[in-house]
Chains A and B, each alone.
Chain A
Amino acid sequence: MRGMTIIVRKITQLVAPVIFLYGLYIIVHGHLTPGGGFAGGVIMAGAFILPILANGSILPNLRKEEAGLELMESAAILGFLIIAGLGLLFSGSLIFFSNFLHKGILGKLVSAGFIPIENIVVGVEVCAAMTTIFIALTVFSEEVPK
């Protein structure tokens, strides 16, 4: 895939970190404000997709990236499942998905038990999945002869 002009590339360089930060903000405030793991993850994926679109990429690099993202995605889902399963072990009454951590004070960033942690894991998962979909489509269009 060919890259774009220097203007686009420079602007992307400036914008992508801000987008990433905003996605991070949405994810970690998931239990307090609208949004959460999914919305934040999609925004974060934008920060990864934009540079690829602006700078272009070659097929071997895309393939390597795809493999890494797949690993990240699986690890994130596994993390989600493990945290949910820890509830089974630590809640004392063997309950799946029980919120076993201390709930904290309502409205504070560190509160609501394990919900922020699950949100972060979901964010990583969605970000990786969205980027994987984008890269899979790109790889497909690169592979098909014109």
Chain B
Amino acid sequence: MNSLVPLFVIIPLGSAFLMAIFGRIIKGFNKVLLPLALLFLTYLSIKFLLGAEGTITYQVGGFAPVAGVPIAIYLAVDGLSRLMLTIISLIGFLACFYSISYINIYTAERKYLILFSLMIAGMNGIVISGDIFNIFVFLEIASIASYALVAFGIDRQELEASFKYQVLGGVASLLILFSIGFLYWRTGTLNIADISTQLPYGGIFVKFIAMVFLVGFGLKAAIFPFHSWLPDAHSSAPSPISAMLSGVLIKAVGLYVIFRLFFNMFALSHQIAMIITVLGTLSMVIGGLLAIGQWDIKRLLAYSSISQVGYIILGVGIGMLILSRQGNTAVASLAIIGGIFHLLNHSVFKSLLFLSAGAVEFRTGERNMKKLGGLAEVLPVTSSTSMIASLSISGLPPFNGFFSKLLIIIAAVQAGYYLLALLAVIISIVTIGYFMKMQKFTFFNRSRVFWQDRNIREVPFVMCFSMIILALLCFALSLLMIPSLRDVVLTPAVNVLVEGLKYTNAVLGY
């Protein structure tokens, strides 16, 4: 299984360029190739998730370490990477399958699918890379593909959003490159595992690098003070792309790298943990409050993403705080399980919500809730899947969102952070509020039933299929609360974070 690791980058990259060449000659080639490639990746990633154990390392080029110093570019696939790979491939496949129909409203279908494939390649690359410069390179592949995809509609609004995204994304990339340069200057290596052995513990310099990293990846993950690009970019993109951006990209590019670096590369410090937790809480509260006033469906969903990312960071941040002062490891891992579980859940229901919003836009051409209404009768599948996702994101049992929020709140109470627990509960209620507003004004408002006269039909089967699968996942992921299932999927990912600097030993094999 070891040797299959590079396939996660080779397959999407290869299919991107095959599509560029043959898509022009053979009609329908792209629409067949990309879903099949992503389906295969999904199969492969699930096989990795269930079958592999421990950390798989892979040296690109086959250069063995010389005197204990790693020379080759390392790929390291551990529990957290495997979980992220599964999320990327699965959501990628469903969004791509949905695109087969959805893309008909645009003209440049070939370019869309090529960029989509490149984005997947970039995200997979980030997740499997054990080398910080390669993370940067893949991050740029994923980001640049997403800049182009956000601007895909080439209307005034979309171009403005893409421009804003590019400027802030460029600043983020610059800061990340800057801090990678600092790290290389100080340690003389780019391998994450090797850096963590070379990096001096504490000290103002290390803290400075950590802060620059946090700002850079915080911009990519749209944590609170750096969130201004997200509502524009995620609402202007074509809907399957919004689903990918909100559901997967900000997690693979932002959160995953933050967790990886701050748990496995830098030694945990209380100050950094406190900053991360506070930023997470602020994102959660402010994103939630800003979402209430939105009337554009996709903008509301985008603000909600900021809020839910706050939940993820809150969970993991509490775990980090406890670990940094050598507290109770069981509570810390409970908090981190909550965070990681919420990451998985959020990628499922947020993608579903964006796909449903896309289905509404596909049939009505309208995103403004003030003009919509009464669509539940003409779009039954879209309406019910959207309802499931809304209930799930608001944290109602028996949907998956309930359990992950519950874990975060229990962990916060057990760790003694009562204020954070209270805020998490309050924002959960606010979340129900704005999602019920969205449901009411889009699907149920009977005072505006004029959409029924306009001969609107349910969206095509291909689009329904993706939405139904995601809706089923909203139920099925609740099963991860069963300990034996949780130990297979979530616990390996959490152990990687809880064990912290042992990552080095696992990768370099000391």
Contacts and interface: CB of A to CB of B under 8 A. Distances in A.
B218 to A, nearest CB: 32
Contacts, number: 48
A97 B61 CA distance: 5
A88 interface: yes
Interface string A50-79: 000000000000000000001101110110
Dominant secondary structure at the B interface: helix
A12 interface: no
A138 B165 CA distance: 26
A59 B2 CA distance: 51
Given A71-B21, A71-B24, A95 B62 contact: yes
B62 A98 contact: yes
B449 to A, nearest CB: 45
Dominant secondary structure at the A interface: helix
A73 B114 CA distance: 14
A99 B17 contact: no
B20 interface: yes
By CB atoms of chain B within 10 A, which of A71, A78, A99 has the most? A78
B141 to A, nearest CB: 12
By CB atoms of chain B within 10 A, which of A85, A88, A91, A97 has the most? A97
Interface string A16-58: 0000000000000000000000000000000000000000000
Nearest to A67: B24
Contacts of A88: 3, 6, 10
B62 A81 contact: no
B230 to A, nearest CB: 29
A74 B17 contact: yes
A75 B21 contact: yes
Contacts of B18: 78
Interface in B17-71: 17-18, 20-21, 24, 58-62
Contacts of A99: 61
B6 A91 contact: no
B14 A96 contact: no
Contacts of A85: 10, 14
Nearest to A75: B21
Interface residues on B, range: 10 to 19
A5 interface: no
Nearest to A70: B20
A100 to B, nearest CB: 10
A75 B59 CA distance: 27
A82 to B, nearest CB: 8
Contacts of A4: none
Contact of A97 (B13, B24, B60): B60
Contacts of A75: 17, 21
Contacts of A84: 10
A94 interface: yes
Given A94-B3, A96-B10, A78 B62 contact: no
B13 A96 contact: no
A115 to B, nearest CB: 11
B24 A78 contact: no
A35 to B, nearest CB: 21
A97 B74 CA distance: 12
Nearest to B61: A97
A74 B16 CA distance: 9
A77 B14 CA distance: 9
Contacts of A94: 2-3
Interface string A73-114: 111011001101100100101111111000000000000000
Contacts of A77: 13, 17
B21 A96 contact: no
A98 B17 contact: no
A95 B20 contact: no
A94 B13 CA distance: 19
30 contacts: A71-B24, A73-B20, A74-B17, A74-B21, A75-B17, A77-B13, A77-B17, A78-B14, A78-B17, A78-B18, A81-B10, A81-B13, A81-B17, A82-B14, A85-B10, A88-B3, A88-B6, A88-B10, A91-B62, A93-B3, A94-B2, A95-B3, A95-B60, A96-B6, A96-B58, A96-B60, A97-B60, A97-B62, A98-B62, A99-B61
Interface of B: 2-3, 6, 10, 13-14, 17-18, 20-21, 24, 58-62
